Amino acid sequence: MKTTFARRAAALIAGIGLAVGSLAAHAEGRIRIAEQFGIVYLMLNVAQEQKLIEKHAKAAGVDAKVEWVKLSGGSAVNDALLSGNIEIAGAGVGPLLTLWDRTHGKQNVRGVASLGNFPYYLVTNNPNVKSIADFTEKDRIALPAVGVSVQSRVLQLASAKLWGDKEFNRLDKISVALPHPDAAAAIIKGGTEITGHFGNPPFQEQELAGNPNARIVLNSYQVLGGPASATVLYATEKFRSESPKTYKAFVDALDEAARFITANPEKAADIYLKVSNAKIDRDLLLKIIKNPEVQFKTVPQNTYVLAEFMHRVGAIKNKPASVKDYFFDDAQNAAGN
């Protein structure tokens, strides 16, 4: 009797072990990645088209199943990450800092890597607007997510510099959430309530080329004090710890994609056109990719100025001591700032 019980117990324990093992294997191979609109996601486009994540995962003995999700706005991306519908979030530094602060000591969301350095332009088609001080109640500034997106946070930082910290959100009341393609169409066409768009490449360049009245009102590099990683990737601590091989395969794939784009801008442009199905002039696209101000790399750069500002005005409760607080302690982030 005791022998039979012991055998059954041993079988049960073995079964539990197999179940846990199968769950771990499933977790290791699964990765769902949320991206938004624009060339700032080119490294992800290259990784997707060339199946670089699958390649690096296979080298580590993992059969990766990669899913790509297209969303608009940091709020939607953050909701998807917290609800467990994605493993990797692609959005601005602003949404990362918001979620890092909200999940501090819980899910512990932190940055994985940068998607490179890109200048973001606030473009207007209103001839009366020469600076952000000229926007009035009649204007509407389109951006991905009001008060959350990196564009919104950079605009708040610029407002704080102009009017003081107490009025950092002065332009929030005339800001509206709108996907980049729709906002760009409004700026180019004109005649709508949208007279400003704080976007990203290639939409900002299309606006400048498509409407003779379009001009740059604000450059994110000027506000942040130099080249900056406006768009980043982030994940939960659980995904990084429970799927280390998949996580590393993703990071290695990003690094390979960055090197590929730098060495092969024309091929990268063709990949963007194919994967994104974007309607953009190829020459304009190449001009953006080859822009000396644009750098494709995974190391986060010049992000802390926004973190410090957001804490100063109460947008986040926890004050990070450095970039190492809100980015994972990985090799690609060691030299970040």
pLDDT single digits (tens) 227-273: 999 899 999 999 999 999 999 999 999 999 999 999 999 999 999 99
Question: If you average pLDDT over each of 55-59, 178-182, 278-282, which comes out highest?
Answer: 55-59
Q: Give pLDDT, residue 5.
A: 37
In the block, residue with structure tokens 């207007």: 124
At 110, give phi and psi (nearest 5°): -145, 165
For residue 19, what are the contacts with CB-CB under 8 A and spacing of at least 6?
A: none
Q: Are 253 and 56 in contact (CB under 8 A)?
A: yes
pLDDT single digits (tens) 277-317: 888 899 999 999 999 999 999 999 999 999 999 999 999 99
Q: Give pLDDT, residue 333.
A: 87
Q: Are 222 and 237 in contact (CB under 8 A)?
A: no
Tell me the average pLDDT across 17-33. Answer: 59
Going by their DSSP bridges, the two strands 231-235 and 88-92 should be labelled as antiparallel
Q: Say if residue 16's pLDDT is above 50.
A: no
DSSP letter for each residue of 267-311: HHHHHHHHHH-----HHHHHHHHT-TT-B--SS--S-HHHHHHHH
Q: Give pLDDT, residue 232.
A: 96
Q: Say if residue 6's pLDDT is above 70.
A: no
In this prediction, residue 195 has a pLDDT band, given cuts at 50, 70 and 90, of: very high
In this prediction, residue 20 has a pLDDT band, given cuts at 50, 70 and 90, of: very low
Range from 18-27, 90-99, 169-178, 253-262 carrying the lowest mean pLDDT: 18-27
In this prediction, residue 335 has a pLDDT band, given cuts at 50, 70 and 90, of: confident
- Its pTM stands at 0.84
Q: Say if residue 73's pLDDT is above 90.
A: no
Q: Give pLDDT, residue 3.
A: 43
In this prediction, residue 22 has a pLDDT band, given cuts at 50, 70 and 90, of: very low
- At residue 131, what is the residue type? S
Higher-confidence position of 271 and 12: 271
Q: Give pLDDT, residue 230.
A: 87
Q: Are 45 and 53 in contact (CB under 8 A)?
A: no
Q: Are 158 and 103 in contact (CB under 8 A)?
A: no
Tell me the average pLDDT across 29-37. Answer: 93
In this prediction, residue 9 has a pLDDT band, given cuts at 50, 70 and 90, of: very low
Neighbours of 215 (CB within 10 A): 17
In this prediction, residue 4 has a pLDDT band, given cuts at 50, 70 and 90, of: very low
Q: Domains in the chain and their CATH numbers?
A: 2-117+229-333 (3.40.190.10), 121-224 (3.40.190.10)
Give the residue from 160, 122, 158, 154 showing the smallest Cα distance to 140: 122
Q: What tokens does 251 get? A: 């990071």
